[in-house]
Amino acid sequence: MKFSMQEFGPEYFETLNQSWDLYCEPIYYNQTAHRKAAIFIPKKVGKPLREVTDIGMWVSGGIDSAMTTYLLCKMIKDNNLPVTFHPFSSRRGRPWNPMYAMDVTDFIREELDLSYQQMAEHVVYYPDESLGSDYIEIDIFAEKDTLHFKENIVQIMYSGVTANPPIDDKTISRNKERTRDDEEIKKLFWESETRSFINCFSNTNKKIMKTLYDKFNLIDNLFPITRSCEGSDYETGNYTYPCEKCWWCEERNWAFGRYG
């Protein structure tokens, strides 16, 4: 089974290779001609080519990373792949991240009946708060990615982050994070000699997640244990319910028609 950049277009790739042997059939999702997503696991990446036996992802406890974790683990399980999925989380400035993230991976492990060979133990990092907000919110991810690749814990890091809603959609306000805007095509696959990143849903917005949660009958079990809200502790009952005020709640309601 081959996966070629020509199937998407070279603008979706920044890679050393033009095509890759895959472990199994990839899964494609299209919202529009230019809003495409894909789930796939190459057998080898980099140059020289290195065998892929372990893949990882930062699991936040949100809608996107939960669904991407589910799809990758389901692909490993259904096809009996010799690949282990490694979930990672960091406490960041949001103390609820690890709690919701571990609820998500616990649910997926039970739902898919995964062994620890198929999904490794969930690793949570607790950065030193004295190092400052930039380290806690940004730098720790680059630091740990470097460690994971250097020690060959993983050969690919995945992301499930989606794009912002369309700019011309007036039913929702604009997100302050411009990097998620959907005007320009974002890289689906980035590859160097020793690192590989696959951003499955970076060109599709949150409404594709509603389609997938419905398709896999996860709207009443996985969806409720995810968290998008970034409201404060006093706005959310110490992070037990959504504030229904922040932009992330607005996006969740825009895509799913509900906050929690």
176 pLDDT above the threshold of 70: no
Specify the DSSP class assigned to residue 37. Answer: E
Segment 121-154, tens digit of pLDDT: 999 998 777 776 666 667 888 999 999 999 999 9
Place of tokens 């699991």: 59
Which residue, 63, 97, 90, 102, is CA-closest to 218?
63
Which residue, 197, 166, 207, is CA-closest to 12?
197
Segment 1-54, tens digit of pLDDT: 788 877 788 889 999 998 999 999 999 998 777 788 999 999 999 999 999 999
Which architecture does CATH list for 2-168+182-226?
3-Layer(aba) Sandwich (3.40)
The CA distance from 168 to 186, in Å, is 19
The CA distance from 73 to 122, in Å, is 13
Segment 239-248, tens digit of pLDDT: 788 889 999 9
Start and end residues for every CATH 3.40.50.620 domain found in the chain: 2-168+182-226
The CA distance from 108 to 201, in Å, is 19
Q: What is the phi/psi pair of residue 246, to 5°? A: -75, 165
More confident residue, 174 or 112: 112
pTM of the model: 0.94
Structure tokens at 248: 């992330």
pLDDT given at position 238: 72
8 A C-beta contact, residue 182 and residue 166: yes
What is the pLDDT confidence band of residue 216, given thresholds at 50, 70 and 90?
very high
The CA distance from 209 to 255, in Å, is 8
231 pLDDT above the threshold of 60: yes
What is the pLDDT confidence band of residue 194, given thresholds at 50, 70 and 90?
very high
Specify the DSSP class assigned to residue 32. Answer: S
Segment 184-193, tens digit of pLDDT: 788 999 999 9
pLDDT given at position 41: 97
Q: Which amino acid, one-letter code, is at 9?
A: G
pLDDT given at position 93: 65
The CA distance from 206 to 163, in Å, is 7
The CA distance from 230 to 37, in Å, is 26
The CA distance from 155 to 51, in Å, is 8
Which residue, 159, 134, 165, is CA-closest to 248?
165
157 pLDDT above the threshold of 60: yes
Average pLDDT (158-172) is 89
Mean pLDDT of the chain: 90
The CA distance from 258 to 251, in Å, is 10
The CA distance from 119 to 83, in Å, is 9
Among 19-33, 45-59, 96-110, 206-220, which is the least confidently predicted range?
Answer: 19-33
8 A C-beta contact, residue 70 and residue 109: no
Which residue, 55, 45, 61, 60, is CA-closest to 148?
55
Segment 60-79, tens digit of pLDDT: 999 999 999 999 999 999 99
The CA distance from 223 to 210, in Å, is 9
